[in-house]
Structure formats: C-alpha cells, structure tokens
Chain A
C-alpha cells in the first residue's frame, strides 16, 4: 500500500483551528494526527513529514501571542523542531502558529504585535506571492485571496530587516494593501531552507469555491480554493520526495 505523507498538528490549550486544518490536510492527501502538547515529546515528532501549528489563541494569548506555547515547546522538546527541519521535515505555522514559529526562532527575526488599529480584524485579503519556488506555495498564482482573523498580526522587525526579507525572498507573502500595519506589508515568512512557512492568513478556511465570499467565484473551475492549493503544494512536494526515498 502506498504510504501517505503524515502531518502532525500540535495542539495547545486555546488552539482552535486544528480540526479544520486537519481536514484540509486530509483533503490534500495527507494522513494527519492532532496531538495535545501534553503528549508531545521528541519521539512523537518522528512519524511526521510535516508539523503544523494551527491557528487559535494558545494559552489565551497571555503575555503575548505565542510566547507561552514557545516556552512549553522548548521545555518539552528543546531544539527538536530545528533538528526536524534540518533532517528534511517541513513546518507550517498558521496565524497563532506563525506567531509561535517566530518566537521559536525558526523564522527570520521579528515579531507579530497588535494590529495598528488596536482591534481584531476578520476579513478577506488580497495576497502577493513573492517567492518563485517554495514547497508550500508553488501551486498558487502570484495574486490570490485568503481570509485573515487576528488581533496580533502586525509584523515588526529590527530596522531595515523587513526590506531585506523582501529582497532576499524570505517574505514569501505580502498583503495587497496595508491591513494591519505590518512592516513592508509582510503576511508570511519562510526561512532560508524553504522548509518552514509562517503566515497570518488562514488557508484552511478556503478549501472550496463555496467558501469564497463571492458566490460566483470559480477560480480555476475545479471547485477548489486557494487554501486547498497551498496544502496540495506541500503534499505534492513531500509525496515526491517520499517516492524517491530508497526502500
């Protein structure tokens, strides 16, 4: 029987997008497992090709979004996520997951802080893909849409760093317009290996054309949304790598 790529979703108290993210991964072809943080140790990461930190409000966003999840992950598995990436694994952080990956130092330096409006924003946004060959994004057009829902999505970085991320292709996604005050309109970041992606928008909320706010939206005509295409991209990449593995 053909072995499917396996995705492991780490769930913290307050994570609330894990079920629909798991569904999205399964739709794209992954097998998936949601693992509460209390059950996570280094060994539990071994079965996965993709580790996903999904959206929500881990630990109630206490102190700052993602901080307590970062500390708990570091306490439980140390730098195992870094070794997972270096060993060929992929990591995806969506919304709160992006905030956690940033705090863990798995993405370029910076932080996600309160929106400049001081308010929670829930809406659809236009996005620009700024990298040509990324495992998570290669199936997507240069311009597409996804929904966002966050209070702390304004990306800030040391002076001049955000512009550098744009130039160096680390700012994988930027907003089509300024929605939350993010420096250089950054909506998503990748690391230098291309194996880690964090983004504020929610791809799991746009799997099918029927999820779009415009009932007449047809996209490519296949009934799939841009979020589906993102999950399919990473599935295709990992499945291709697995097919070339010996044995």
Chain B
C-alpha cells in the first residue's frame, strides 16, 4: 500500500481578511489563506496516483499542487486542518471515488479530504475563535499546528 498527500492551492487567490471567518470581527489585521489536501492510500504506481490527482482534483490553469507533505504556504502563525469525522457521510469524497472507478491503472484504498486554513497574525491572536466558528463539532475533527510544525490542538 502506498500513500500520497497532495496540497492544492489557488494560483490566483491571495490572502484574505480573516475577520470573514469568525462570527464577530477580531478587530485586528489578521489574514488567512485556504488550501485543500487530498490524502490517498492506493495500490499501484505513484505516477498513476499523481496523474489522477492532476487530472481530477487540480485545475490546470488556476491551481498549483504540492506532493511534498510540507505546508504549501510559508510565514503563517498557525494553521487549522479540519475534515469530516470518520464514518460521517462525505458526499464530496464519495463523488471523487465514484469518478475514479478504478480505471486509472491503480486502485484507491482510501481517500481523506482535509480543508486547511493558514492564519497570518501577530502572536496575540490564538486559534480558539477560528476553531469555534469554522469547525462544526457535530461533523468535523480538527487539529491546529503552529509555525514550528507542532500540533497544539
């Protein structure tokens, strides 16, 4: 079994005002950037897996994809990863798996979709407000990673 992680980022998108992410403004100059991460476990050639990602999950003109496993964005304060709870009905995942149909010269054994939000701020801004307003504990699991790569929540 092989594993591949692909982080996809919009080439034409730039940092946005993070006050949009929370219910009440933070009254601070905080920026954010979103990416999406696909983690595939598969049987077959790594090239076939990368081809599948490029063909199905990445926009030729508007996206960039990173297979390194390292954050695609630098100089952030922290980032929040959130995804559907294991066992929850994830229609996006089902649609992607359905589009695959095992015709790509490799078999997907599992697929994980992670939404990532990078926050750019001064140290006084913490992750709690973002986690509270972005993540839904009924359906999501999440983690927070600081700029040193340490999981802090």
Interface residues in chain A, defined as those with a beta carbon under 8 Å from any beta carbon in chain B: 59-60, 62-64, 67-68, 71-72, 75, 109-111, 113-114, 118, 154, 156-158
Chain B residues lying within 8 Å of A67, measured Cβ to Cβ, are 56-57, 59
B56 touches A75 (CB 8 A): no
Q: At the interface, yes or no: B20 with Cβ under 8 Å from chain A?
A: yes
Q: Bound complex: CA of A157 vs CA of B20, how far in Å?
A: 28
The chain B residue with its CB closest to the CB of A58 is B95
B57 touches A118 (CB 8 A): no
Chain A residues lying within 8 Å of B12, measured Cβ to Cβ, are 113, 154, 156
B95 touches A111 (CB 8 A): no
Q: Bound complex: CA of A238 vs CA of B109, how far in Å?
A: 49
B99 touches A72 (CB 8 A): yes
Q: Bound complex: CA of A111 vs CA of B62, how far in Å?
A: 7
B119 CB → nearest A CB, Å: 16
A112 CB → nearest B CB, Å: 9
Picked from A63, A109, A110, A154, the residue with its CB within 8 Å of the CB of B96 is A63
B59 touches A64 (CB 8 A): yes
Q: Bound complex: CA of A64 vs CA of B60, how far in Å?
A: 12
- When each residue 57-68 of chain B gets 1 if its CB lies under 8 Å from chain A and 0 otherwise, what string results? 101111100000
The chain B residue with its CB closest to the CB of A161 is B61
CB proximity to A under 8 Å, residues B23-59: 56-57, 59
A113 touches B62 (CB 8 A): yes
Knowing A63-B56, A68-B99, A114-B13 are in contact, say whether A156-B92 is a contact too (CB < 8 A): no
B56 touches A71 (CB 8 A): yes
Q: At the interface, yes or no: B152 with Cβ under 8 Å from chain A?
A: no
Q: Bound complex: CA of A111 vs CA of B10, how far in Å?
A: 12
B56 touches A111 (CB 8 A): no
Chain B residues lying within 8 Å of A113, measured Cβ to Cβ, are 10, 12-13, 59, 62
Chain A residues lying within 8 Å of B150, measured Cβ to Cβ, are none
Q: Bound complex: CA of A156 vs CA of B61, how far in Å?
A: 7
B35 CB → nearest A CB, Å: 13
Chain A residues lying within 8 Å of B99, measured Cβ to Cβ, are 68, 71-72, 75
Chain A CB within 10 A, most for which of B16, B57, B92, B95: B95
